[in-house]
Amino acid sequence: QGCDPFAQTQRSKLQHRRARINQQINKEMRMRAGAENLFRATSNHKVKETVALELSYVNSNLQLLKEELEELNSSVDVYQNDSESISVPMIPLGLKETKELDLLVPLKDLISEHYGEEGILFEKEIKEFMELRQAMRTPSRNEAGLELLMEYYNQLYFLDSRFFPPTKSLGVFFHWYDSLTGVPSHQRALAFEKGSVLFNIGALHTQIGARQDRASLPGLNQAIDAFQKAAGAFNYLKENFSNAPSLDMSAASLNMLVRLMVAQVQECVFEKMTLLCAQHDFLARLQLAQEAARVEDVYSLVHQTMTQAHVKDYVPFSWTTMVHVKSEHFKALSHYFAAIALCDCPVASDAELPEHEKAFIQFHVTMPEGPSLRILLQDPEERRKLGKAHLKKAIMKHEEAMRIHGLCKILRKMDILQEVLSFAHKRSLSKYSEIDHEEDFFETGDAPDIHPKTHQKPEIKSPNFSQVKVTDLFHRLGPLSVFSAKNKWYPARRVHLMRGENGFGFTLRGDSPVLIAGVIPGGCAAEAGLKEGDYIISVNGKDCKWSKHAEVVQLLKSTGEEGVEIRVITL
């Protein structure tokens, strides 16, 4: 079952607005196409002027609708959790919307034409499939919702094998709306339906990841798992489905989404480290600084990807800004934790010194100017000087993050991000005033950047489709090895056989369906027109498509003097 489509949760209200905007965009685009055709076709100057005016209205309407959709895609706060703790918001994706699809007539026709069965006898299965499709349009935001999407995805494999012959189209169009631009696309290829469902599996994982309470370890581990699975779904889509007609499923867009998910995993890993780290441990603080530098690194890469020429036009501006803010924010944090390690952690004892030196050699991208490492680590004044340089850089980066945040109208409305940035900024400022001495006459140097390093590399977890077992809804048509869309056979023949002295005069082989392996020349079977390679599909009216070898032999043996009627097909 899907969610109740009329339940007024915050998320379903968003999804309803998305559906409404999608339909309006569709209508305006149809009007635009009509107006453009008329503009090209007419030579009447007056008509041309009227059409041009109409086109400018339509284009401005489309622009407004796209802005409304962008604001919708930026409503990240709706998807976050409700706990009291302050966490940086994560970016989730809205689900792709689709139109209803009526498969009753096309599938009944194909069952009659291709399989030679009464289409009307399969109405129950066709309706069951359509109900499953209807349910997967509104999956719940949990494991059950994911299983529903997976179940439908796996059913599409059977639908493809049964009803989509390689040479002929079923004549059905699959309509889906772009998740980022709202523009509708349609294709006859079932691959588009599969790819869109896979996109929604990834999108649902992002929503599950965003709603976790990341102030606790279990919540963080679940968020990491969800974002890794989202990255896996988008990556699988990128590698296995090319030529999708919508922008959100283009290789460039999917590449950006995979990188965004990996960055969100890396951010969760940093948060996990802050929960687990000992407070006044020098090495633990260095490790935190390097984790933060790693997060800054991956968000910088996402920001580069989002600002590429063909991607930046359709990625919401609030996403690009938020990613940019995060890269500056985590760079500030890396310098802040470096300063804390130097200023708040006790000076190393002789026993600890070699280990501290080893960690510190690999800590900076370039070695800081000034005294040797050993002196620096053992002299509190030198540590304070370098710590102060790191704090100065941290404060600059905090201010830059706040400046970029202020440029985006949508992000300015997001209190939670504002709080996180201003808290971090104030914390660095108060630390700076605490270690700043009035008699400091030295010029605070420029602290070198911190070498990014992580103790838990994000994994891209591909979807595990086998975890949701499904049975072929149309298994009554017979085993797929024979009864599939790609195979062709002559119409079924009814053959009446009488048992002769040597039995029926043929040998059988294999299971489901049983094959006639050999026909004895001059025997009853040969006279009745049976051929080697025929498949037995019924005996005396009993369907044998799925029967085992022994069951068919038993049915044939149990016939009396009136003989037996079998139905066979030839591929």
Residues 356 and 464 in one domain: no
**Predicted local distance difference test score (pLDDT) of residue 11:** 62
Residues 313 and 258 in one domain: no
In a domain, 23, yes or no: yes
In a domain, 267, yes or no: no
CA quadruple 403, 408, 412, 414: dihedral positive or negative? Answer: negative
Residues 134 and 257 in one domain: yes
Residues 528 and 465 in one domain: no
What does pLDDT average to over the chain?
87
pLDDT tens column, 147-183: 999 999 999 999 999 999 888 888 899 999 988 888 8
**Predicted local distance difference test score (pLDDT) of residue 535:** 92
pLDDT tens column, 93-137: 989 999 999 999 999 999 998 888 888 999 999 999 999 999 999
Residues 283 and 428 in one domain: yes
pLDDT tens column, 369-387: 877 888 888 888 888 989 9
In a domain, 129, yes or no: yes
Instruction: Taking residues 441-446, report their average pLDDT.
Output: 70
Residues 240 and 360 in one domain: no
Question: In degrees, to the nearest 5, what angle opens at C-alpha 263 toward C-alphas 257 and 268?
Answer: 130
In a domain, 178, yes or no: yes
Residue 243's beta-bridge partner residues? none
Instruction: Taking residues 289-310, report their average pLDDT.
Output: 95
> Do you find a cis peptide bond into 316, omega within 30 degrees of 0?
no
Residues 87 and 188 in one domain: yes
Residues 426 and 355 in one domain: yes
Residue that terminates a domain, selected from 412, 445, 478? 478
Q: Please state, in angstroms and rounded to a whole number, the distance separating the CA atoms of residues 232 and 461.
A: 4
**Predicted local distance difference test score (pLDDT) of residue 399:** 96
pLDDT tens column, 199-252: 999 999 999 999 899 989 999 999 999 999 999 999 999 999 877 888 899 999
pLDDT value at 424 more than 90: yes
Q: Which domain holds residue 55?
A: 10-75
Q: Please state, in angstroms and rounded to a whole number, the distance separating the CA atoms of residues 157 and 161.
A: 6
Structural domains of the chain, count: 4
Instruction: Taking residues 520-540, report their average pLDDT.
Output: 86
Question: In degrees, to the nearest 5, what angle opens at C-alpha 50 toward C-alphas 48 and 54?
Answer: 115
- Name the band, by pLDDT with cuts 50, 70 and 90, for residue 292: very high
**Predicted local distance difference test score (pLDDT) of residue 79:** 57
Residues 520 and 389 in one domain: no
| pLDDT top residue among 76 and 564 | 564
In a domain, 268, yes or no: no
Residue 571: closest CA among 511, 487, 480, 479: 487
Lowest mean pLDDT among 270-274, 340-344, 528-532: 528-532
pLDDT value at 90 more than 80: yes
At 501, which CATH number? Answer: 2.30.42.10
pLDDT value at 8 more than 70: no
pLDDT value at 75 more than 80: no
Inter-axis angle of helices 251-276 and 217-240, to 10 degrees? Answer: 160
**Predicted local distance difference test score (pLDDT) of residue 443:** 67
| pLDDT top residue among 296 and 558 | 296
Residues 222 and 253 in one domain: yes
Residue that terminates a domain, selected from 51, 75, 99? 75
* Residue 178 near residue 98, CB atoms below 8 Å: no
**Predicted local distance difference test score (pLDDT) of residue 76:** 62
Residues 71 and 140 in one domain: no
pLDDT value at 568 more than 70: yes
pLDDT tens column, 542-566: 888 999 989 988 888 888 778 888 8
CA 102 to the chain's CA centroid:
26
- Name the band, by pLDDT with cuts 50, 70 and 90, for residue 77: low
In a domain, 1, yes or no: no
**Predicted local distance difference test score (pLDDT) of residue 260:** 97
In a domain, 272, yes or no: no
State percent of the chain over pLDDT 70: 94
In a domain, 372, yes or no: yes
Residues 444 and 560 in one domain: no
At 40, which CATH number? Answer: 1.10.287.160
State percent of the chain over pLDDT 90: 45
Q: Please state, in angstroms and rounded to a whole number, the distance separating the CA atoms of residues 303 and 323.
A: 6
| pLDDT top residue among 482 and 65 | 482
Residue that terminates a domain, selected from 27, 43, 75? 75
| pLDDT top residue among 13 and 283 | 283
Contacts of 453 (CB under 8 A, 6+ apart): 287, 290, 291, 293, 294, 362
